[in-house]
Structure 1
Amino acid sequence: MHEYFNNRGYRAILNASLLSGIGDSLYNIVFIIYAATMPFKSLAVTLAAMATTLPTMLSLVTGSLADRTQAKTSHMVATRIGQTLLFLGLAGMILLPASLPLFLLLLGINILSDTLGQYGNGLVLPLLHRLIPAKELNTAISFQSATGTTVQMVFQAVGASLIVLLNHNYALFGGINAVTFLLAAWVITREKCRLKQAEPPVVAHTHQPILKNIGNVLKFLATNRFLLAVIIFAMFVNTLGSSVDGLMSVSLVQQPGMWLRDFGTTVALLNIVFSVGLILGALFAQDGLQRLSTFKLLSLLTAAMIGLSFSFFLFRSLAAVMAFSFVTSYLMGKINPRVSTLMMRLVPEQQMGTTAGVVNLVALLGMPVGQVVFFTLANVVSAAASWMLMAALSAVLLLVLLLVGTRIADPVFTDSEGQSEKA
């Protein structure tokens, strides 16, 4: 928070990100509601839900393009202007009679806007690296993560309620999203000179092809045992963790005795607990856990997931579920900024966007595998059987993490506070 009030460049980037996040959070939930009104609602809702992962799958390409971009601040403004124009067009077209071609066009606009957002995220990384002192980087990234999660949680709830109050005026929400992107562009423009000074120096050479750039990043990661191990373990943790939310809902359906008043109230309460834990974990960056190595932090997260699994198939206690959900999300709130900070400290500036794309893509790869395995088992056998399998796999992962943690230490940064200690 100190950096937010005293570092105008960082504040401009964060404010622009929050403004874009407000529009996205409002519109994403509203677009799902809009899809549910289509004559082909099952197909529409499925496509709308699946479309959210496509920009992440393209993050390797958008990150590489961001690395190749020289005038990063100008392109950050241009990206927000492009998103503004896309949603102004969407606001007009959504008034047309519903049809499958129109829906696919609107869906394409949404995907294109999110892809531009991924590209903009890649542009920001080297600027943050230069704007924020090294010892404050983890705290600043944590604060950015906490505020972003808060905005997402609050405005998704606002969007779901407001669309009803406004009599399902979807065009108005498209216009609101356009305005938030325009305001984000204005915020960056106000500090354009300051941000330009933080841009990496212009490299006077012919750009490498995207595939070669991606290949160079993969070679770099192959030579950095620590980063490579963190990325691989992040994939395994995400493979298990991506199914938790859905499994909790299936378990509650199968175990009404765990409800607090009714099913909807219980699910809402658990979502709130998880979101609050995620926010607080990122917000309290100096709570003592910053002294732990990355692998010890991942080990604690895996242990919390084991406890969450036990809460469903052994304890069958809502209080235990809430407690372990909070601990799990609190630790997740610390790990995500930690990984981002380490990446920014270890990766060359000209490869930050591509590396972030690799991390995002690898983390995404395990999601469908985990969901197919755990959801299939929950429906064919029982949710308890899925939790037992998750507990067993988490225990194996915990043992491997503890072993690897004794062999691969965190990098030592002489000017940092939290990551300067070895595992």
Structure 2
Amino acid sequence: MNIFIKNRDYRRFSIASFLSSAGDILFYLALMTYASKLQNYSLALSLIAISESIPRLFDIFGGYLADKTQRKFKSLFIMALVRFILYSLVGILFVTNISQWNVVLAVIAINFISDTVGAYSTGLVAPLLVNLVGEKEFSEAEGFTNGISQIITTAAQFIGSGLLLFLSYSSLAFINALTFLSAGILYASVGIHYKNDEKPLEQQEINEQKFFATMKTSCLQMKKAPGLVSIILLIALLNGALSSNGSLIPIVIAANRSTMIISSYSFTIAIMGIFASAGAILGSTFGPQLFKKQSIFSMTIFAIFLSIATSIAALCANIFFILPIYFLLSAITSIASLKMQQWIVTTIDRKILASSVGLLNTILMVVAPVMTTALTTVSGLKNVKYSLIILLAIESIILFVSFKMAFNTKQKVNKSAIIND
């Protein structure tokens, strides 16, 4: 919060991110509502989900291209302008006489292109944010941005549902377009501020390596920091456990309606989502400051304990036990993830930082759906209790490994300090 108030350029930069996030959520809700009214709505909604998911796998390539970009602020402005044009086109499509299915297919294609452009924009943001706030303040700034973005995402869903009562789908598409234009103008204003600096952000060293060479360099630099690779894998598995619990607990609730339902099934699921979101928001916003002195290993181990407790609560089918633990799990996992990002920022060369962040996002993104798919499949074929028992076994192994890694890392750090002395 302090950095947002004191740093004018970071404030403008983060507001630009908030604007584009809010516009995206509003439009996504509008598109889903429009598609749900089609005759074959199931296929339409599935296509939208796929078009939203695939571009997230491009983060690693978006980061690589961002590291090769000389004028990052200019490129960020251009990408925002491209997305403004794309969603303006969507707004026009919604008022044409084209068949509804053709409109949906065209909008899905445009949305896919926009999200792919967004992967490149995300890559551009990370190194610029480090330059704006400094390495030491990065986790606080990133945490504040993530926390406020999640608040905006939640609020935008309610606002969007209200706006749909009196605004057309075309109007919401144009609103989304304008948020990207506004974001682009803010990005440009921050970039102009640095134009006459002694070492402008636009003139910093760029990455000249090929893609695979860049990934190799990134991995080698991570390996040089004792414990960094280990903690990345642990947090990836922890995110997988969190995601799996989020998918298995609704199944447990459905199987124990008489004891776990609060008012109704949908309301219970909504309450669970609110607890998870609130935990992530508070953890991201205030965690980096409150737990500044705690090590990343201690936070990760604490999170794994909470993950085990969540699984046990699910096995006991006690919703009032699940909710507070799930809230704490979301909060502590967010804090551990931010500490990991801070570690990467202070370890990796600036010229390949975006590539490294993209690689990290890809690792985190792949593990969660794989674990969730495997465990929900077991639940479907057998029983949800089998899935929870398997998850508990995985979490116990992760806990054991985390203790061992923390001990080994401490020894390596102490040994390195002795050698340097």
Name stretches of at least 5 consecutive residues in structure 2 with no aligned partner. 414-421
Q: Which residue of 2 aligns with 1:258?
A: 260
Measure, in 1, the Cα distance between the counterparts of 2:2 and 2:83.
31
- Tell me if the contact between 1:32 and 1:49 (Cα under 8 Å) persists in the aligned partners: no
Indicate whether 1:175 and 2:174 are aligned. Answer: yes
Q: Which residue of 2 aligns with 1:285?
A: 287
Measure, in 2, the Cα distance between the counterparts of 1:173 and 1:101.
19
Task: Summarize the Cα distance change of 1:65–1:54 in structure 2 as closer, same or farther, 3 Å threshold.
Answer: same
Which stretch has the larger CA shift, 70-79 or 30-39?
A: 30-39
Indicate whether 1:294 and 2:293 are aligned. Answer: no
Q: Alpha-carbon deviations, 1:277-313, whole Å to 9, x = none?
A: 1111112235643322212211111111111111111
Task: Summarize the Cα distance change of 1:243–1:51 in structure 2 as closer, same or farther, 3 Å threshold.
Answer: farther
Q: Which residue of 2 aligns with 1:112?
A: 113
Task: Output the amino acid matched with 1:73.
Answer: F
Measure, in 1, the Cα distance between the counterparts of 2:232 and 2:105.
34
- Tell me if the contact between 1:297 and 1:331 (Cα under 8 Å) persists in the aligned partners: yes
Count of paired positions: 408
Q: Which residue of 2 aligns with 1:194?
A: 193
Task: Summarize the Cα distance change of 1:278–1:368 in structure 2 as closer, same or farther, 3 Å threshold.
Answer: closer
Task: Output the amino acid matched with 2:215.
Answer: I
Measure, in 2, the Cα distance between the counterparts of 1:358 and 1:77.
24
Q: Which residue of 1 aligns with 2:390?
A: 389
Q: Alpha-carbon deviations, 1:346-402, whole Å to 9, x = none?
A: 111110111011011111222332122211122222222222221221111111111
Task: Output the amino acid matched with 1:231.
Answer: I
Q: Which residue of 2 aligns with 1:61?
A: 61
Q: Which residue of 2 aligns with 1:321?
A: 322
Measure, in 2, the Cα distance between the counterparts of 1:162 and 1:251.
34
Name stretches of at least 5 consecutive residues in structure 1 with no aligned partner. 413-423
- Tell me if the contact between 2:71 and 2:202 (Cα under 8 Å) persists in the aligned partners: no
- Tell me if the contact between 2:59 and 2:122 (Cα under 8 Å) persists in the aligned partners: no
Q: Which residue of 2 aligns with 1:344?
A: 345
Report deviation, 1:101. 4.7
SS at match of 2:63: helix
Task: Output the amino acid matched with 1:300.
Answer: F
Measure, in 1, the Cα distance between the counterparts of 2:191 and 2:383.
56
Task: Output the amino acid matched with 2:84.
Answer: T
Indicate whether 1:32 and 2:26 are aligned. Answer: no
Report deviation, 1:174. 0.8
Task: Output the amino acid matched with 2:192.
Answer: C
Measure, in 1, the Cα distance between the counterparts of 2:243 and 2:102.
32
- Tell me if the contact between 1:38 and 1:98 (Cα under 8 Å) persists in the aligned partners: no
Measure, in 1, the Cα distance between the counterparts of 2:291 and 2:5.
25
The ranges of structure 1 where at least 4 consecutive aligned residues each deviate by more than 6 angstroms after the TM superposition are none
- Tell me if the contact between 2:135 and 2:345 (Cα under 8 Å) persists in the aligned partners: no
Q: Which residue of 2 aligns with 1:418?
A: none
- Tell me if the contact between 1:19 and 1:184 (Cα under 8 Å) persists in the aligned partners: yes
Task: Summarize the Cα distance change of 1:310–1:406 in structure 2 as closer, same or farther, 3 Å threshold.
Answer: same
Task: Output the amino acid matched with 2:298.
Answer: K
SS at match of 1:208: coil
Q: Which residue of 1 aligns with 2:250?
A: 249
- Tell me if the contact between 2:67 and 2:206 (Cα under 8 Å) persists in the aligned partners: no
Indicate whether 1:48 and 2:51 are aligned. Answer: no
Task: Output the amino acid matched with 1:199.
Answer: L
Q: Alpha-carbon deviations, 1:174-199, whole Å to 9, x = none?
A: 11100111111122222322244451
Which stretch has the larger CA shift, 68-77 or 282-291?
A: 282-291
SS at match of 1:391: helix
TM-score with structure 1 length normalisation?
Answer: 0.90
Q: Alpha-carbon deviations, 1:149-169, whole Å to 9, x = none?
A: 111111122223332x126x2
Indicate whether 1:160 and 2:161 are aligned. Answer: yes
Q: Percent identity?
A: 23
TM-score with structure 2 length normalisation?
Answer: 0.91
Task: Summarize the Cα distance change of 1:395–1:44 in structure 2 as closer, same or farther, 3 Å threshold.
Answer: same
Measure, in 2, the Cα distance between the counterparts of 1:192 and 1:92.
31
Task: Output the amino acid matched with 1:15.
Answer: I
CA RMSD of aligned residues (A): 2.2
Report deviation, 1:321. 0.9
Which stretch has the larger CA shift, 212-221 or 268-277?
A: 212-221
SS at match of 2:95: coil
- Tell me if the contact between 1:312 and 1:321 (Cα under 8 Å) persists in the aligned partners: yes
Measure, in 2, the Cα distance between the counterparts of 1:191 and 1:410.
44
Once the two structures are superposed, the pairs formed by residues 206-245 of structure 1 within 5 Å of their partners are 207-245=208-246
Q: Which residue of 2 aligns with 1:417?
A: none
- Tell me if the contact between 1:127 and 1:200 (Cα under 8 Å) persists in the aligned partners: no
Report deviation, 1:44. 1.3
Measure, in 2, the Cα distance between the counterparts of 1:357 and 1:154.
28
- Tell me if the contact between 1:235 and 1:366 (Cα under 8 Å) persists in the aligned partners: yes
- Tell me if the contact between 1:200 and 1:349 (Cα under 8 Å) persists in the aligned partners: no
Measure, in 2, the Cα distance between the counterparts of 1:216 and 1:57.
20
Task: Output the amino acid matched with 1:137.
Answer: F
Q: Alpha-carbon deviations, 1:8-65, whole Å to 9, x = none?
A: 1111110100001110121222222222222321111112112222122011111100
Task: Output the amino acid matched with 1:41.
Answer: Y
Measure, in 1, the Cα distance between the counterparts of 2:46 and 2:282.
32
Task: Output the amino acid matched with 2:144.
Answer: F
Which stretch has the larger CA shift, 290-299 or 10-19?
A: 290-299
SS at match of 1:261: coil
Q: Which residue of 1 aligns with 2:362?
A: 361
Task: Summarize the Cα distance change of 1:128–1:378 in structure 2 as closer, same or farther, 3 Å threshold.
Answer: same
Q: Which residue of 1 aligns with 2:71?
A: 71
